[in-house]
A and B are shown apart, each in its own frame.
Chain A
Amino acid sequence: MTIDMSQFYQVFFEESAELLEEMERLLLELDVADAGKDALNAIFRTAHSIKGGSATFGFTEITETTHILESLLDKLRNGELPVRVEMVDVFLKAVDVIKNQLAGRQYESAVDDQAVAEICRQLSAFAQEGPAEAVVQTSAAQAPQADAVATPAPAADDAEPVDPTPENLFAILTGAKIAVAPVAAAAPVPGAAGAAASDAYGFFTEVAPAQAKAPVPPPAPAADQNPGRRATDAAGDAPPKRGRRASDHVDTETTSIRVGVEKVDQLINLVGELVITQAMLAQTASHVDSALYEALRTGMAQLEHNTRDLQESVMSIRMMPISFVFSRFPRVVRDLAGSLNKQVELKTVGEGTELDKGLIEKIADPLNHLVRNSLDHGVESPEKRLAAGKPAMGTITLRAFHQGGNIVIEVSDDGAGLNREKILAKARERGMTVSDDMPDQDVWLLIFEAGFSTAEAVTAVSGRGVGMDVVKRNIYAMGGRVEIDSTLGVGTRISIRLPLTLAILDGMSVSVGEEIFIVPLTFIVESLQPAKDDIKTITGMGTVVHVRGEYLPVVALYDVLNVRPKVTELDRGIMVIVESEGAKSAMFVDDLLGQHQVVIKSLETNYRKVPGVSGATIMGDGKVALILDVEALARGTFREEERRAA
């Protein structure tokens, strides 16, 4: 019988990725000056587990790297070497290198062999310099003890927490004074194994002495280093000391299953279809006489209820805690703060807040930009902070919470805040139309415009003015919005508001002629029927509608989408005021039909990309309705008008 190991590769890759994340988190939390045994043990174990796995699956290059890493970590947790900041840096780099190696195996991507070799060299170098320093430490620590040679250094500290009862063999083992003791004490236990023991001990293939020879004291080296190490382990692994994190880990391990994303997506799709079918049935059933078909009506009501519950449950499968994204930032902040010579503390709040997996993947980049930006432009240098009467250590806070059907993610810093005058000056310099009495909110949003940067010096981190506009575009593409609050000298808070899922959208259905379109609710400011006087034609802007002191360009959907409308007189239809990319416009439609949650179907996968349309959905009556791409429509009009004007 042969066993195909490849079926377990995926589990190994996922597990290793988690372990590396865990290692990175532990490293970042590690207090170098006072590195606890528990922490060092936990870090050691992550490396150890990856090594074990990679060895089992025959990924020898990963085994080699992790072995070198593990060896050094072993020395640290045994107290043979002191932990140094440079080591943590190299460990973090090693995490990256191992990630790279894993990716090499998983995706057959290129592995940076030079980086691997370099990390291995650095790790080995740390391990090499070990003995000398360790000796110094040992002798210093043990100066008062006369029998320093007989008692191994770690054991001196570590034997203490171990309860020296007869049951606890480790305690006896660490008592290096009586070398015979461990074997004598241990004897009854294997003895209990009875007849099986003599045969079974054969598995200790390299163990020379048989059971009968057990009373022979273990070889000398065993008595010096390793008992001490075992004591360390025993103390470190004692259940009460491990705390909550360990048990959390176990809980997720034993109560969750891994399923491919495509399976979940298929499930979501099927439920989407079910919702549509249910809606169609409901619509049909609504016409039957409820007195005659009472059972049918009751059944339909039940079906609707169950369908909705099922949909919610299925959607929740794709929901993941935002900690998946947040967890990468301690590293980002640490690295960046170091290179900018700033002192920054990162706080995260609401890591358990859940959102759709698709959004999690897409929000990571924009958040990364925002955090970098906060670090680079927001938080001041320690000197400036002290001069301003602030603590030298700046704080960046990542916060996530649910609000209505949205998730709000905030990136805030207690830095310099945005400078209104500077932004306005810069905007004028760049030829943007701004006015001095613009509300702050609008001024702040200018920093999201393309090519906008008020930083005096361009840094490698941010400040080339690329990025922030991409951030905004990405967030809008997810159906989200951005808001900024800032106070000069106090700090800045950027809030991202996202829908909970990409698969369902809150929309307003509108009719144009025989067609039904869906306008995503996030874009809609208000809807109104304009008075005849409010509609004007202005040179260069085409038709505009006057709403609360603003002249908004009119986008007549029937015209743009080439549909025969029921109404063409602008004062007899409805204006749906939408806001996109900071500009408002009025979409002219025949009528408003209602508000729905619609299941988004991609047009691109099923048909092709259509300008002005972002997707489609199936309505309750089985008809297809197109979901409007509000941004493109709003932009398209301006171009259209320009063309006409020219």
Chain B
Amino acid sequence: MAKSILAVDDSASIRSMVSFTLKSAGYEVVEAVDGVDAMTKAKATAMDLVLTDHNMPRMDGLTLVRSLRELPGYRSAPILILTTESSQDMKNQGKAAGATGWLVKPFDPQRLIEVVRKVLG
């Protein structure tokens, strides 16, 4: 069965691009528009991977990572952050929050697929 990915981004264009990229690589994709939406969807369906933006209204990416890590089903699930933030400090924070990896926008679709494949094994 295809692995499922939760793609979280408040920007519709980026969300649809990420979603399209992942779908074309054979994954099932559920979209969420911010951290709060993502939490609801993550609770409803067990996702194999969460790929989230950081800067979003209502709940940002790092908060989402931390909240997810408290859910039983997401203690060890890979969570990738895809953001324009590229400072070392932010990455450290991401790591501390429990993110599995950090990808910097603009993203290369090919590279995104590679990373996702690697993380999902």
- Could you list which residues of chain A lie within 8 angstroms of chain B, going by C-beta atoms? 1-3, 5, 7-8, 11-12, 15, 42, 44-45, 48-49, 51-53, 55-58, 167, 169, 173, 182-183, 186, 189-190, 192-194, 196-197, 199-204, 206-207, 218-219, 221-222, 226, 230, 233-234, 237, 239, 242, 246-247, 249-250, 253-254
| Given contact pairs A1-B24, A11-B13, A207-B91, A173 touches B57 in the complex (Cβ within 8 A) | no
Asked if residues A226 and B90 are in contact (CB atoms below 8 Å), the reply is yes
Contact of B33 with A204 in the complex, beta carbons under 8 Å: no
Q: How far apart are the CA atoms of A53 and B18 in the complex, in Å?
A: 12
- Distance between Cα atoms of A12 and B95 in the complex (Å): 30
**What are the 8 A-B residue pairs with the smallest beta carbon separation, nearest first?**
A203-B101, A12-B13, A186-B96, A189-B98, A200-B100, A55-B106, A3-B109, A11-B13
Tally of contact residues, B, Cβ under 8 A: 59
Contacts of B20 in A (CB 8 A): 3, 7-8
Interface string of B24-35 (1 = CB under 8 A from A): 110000000111
With both beta carbons as reference points, the residue of chain B lying nearest to A195 in the complex is identified as B76
- Complex contact A8–B13 (CB within 8 A): yes
CB distance from A36 to the nearest CB of B (A): 15
12 A-B pairs with C-beta separation under 8 A: A1-B25, A8-B17, A45-B55, A56-B17, A167-B66, A186-B97, A193-B98, A201-B101, A202-B101, A222-B88, A250-B36, A254-B37
Q: A190, B119: Cβ atoms under 8 Å?
A: no
- Give which listed residue, A49, A169, A190, A242, contacts B10 with CB less than 8 A: A49
Cα A249 to Cα B57 in complex, Å, equals 10
Most chain B Cβ neighbours within 10 Å, of A5, A12, A173, A203: A203
- Distance in angstroms from B107 CB to nearest chain A CB is 7
- Could you say which residues of chain A place their CB within 8 Å of the CB of B83? 52
Residue among A7, A49, A196, A239 facing the most chain B CB atoms (10 A cut-off)? A49
Min C-beta distance of A211 to chain B, whole Å = 9
B105 x A55 contact (CB < 8 A): yes
Given contacts A3-B24, A45-B57, A230-B93, contact A192 B98 (CB under 8 A): yes
Query: Considering the chains assembled together, what is the distance between the CA atoms of A169 and B75 in angstroms?
Result: 16
Task: Note all chain B residues with C-beta closer than 8 A to A219.
Answer: 88
Which A residues lie within 8 Å of B80 (CB)? Answer: 203
Contact of B5 with A by CB under 8 A: no
**B95 adjacent to A204 (CB under 8 Å):** yes
Contact of A196 with B78 at beta-carbon distance under 8 Å, contacts A182-B96, A234-B63 already known? yes
- Is A52 a contact partner of B92 (Cβ separation < 8 A)? no
B53 and A169 contacting across the interface, CB-CB below 8 Å: no
Contacts A167-B70, A193-B100 known; A233 to B60 CB distance under 8 Å? yes
Q: Which of B53, B56, B88 has the most CB of A within 10 A?
A: B88
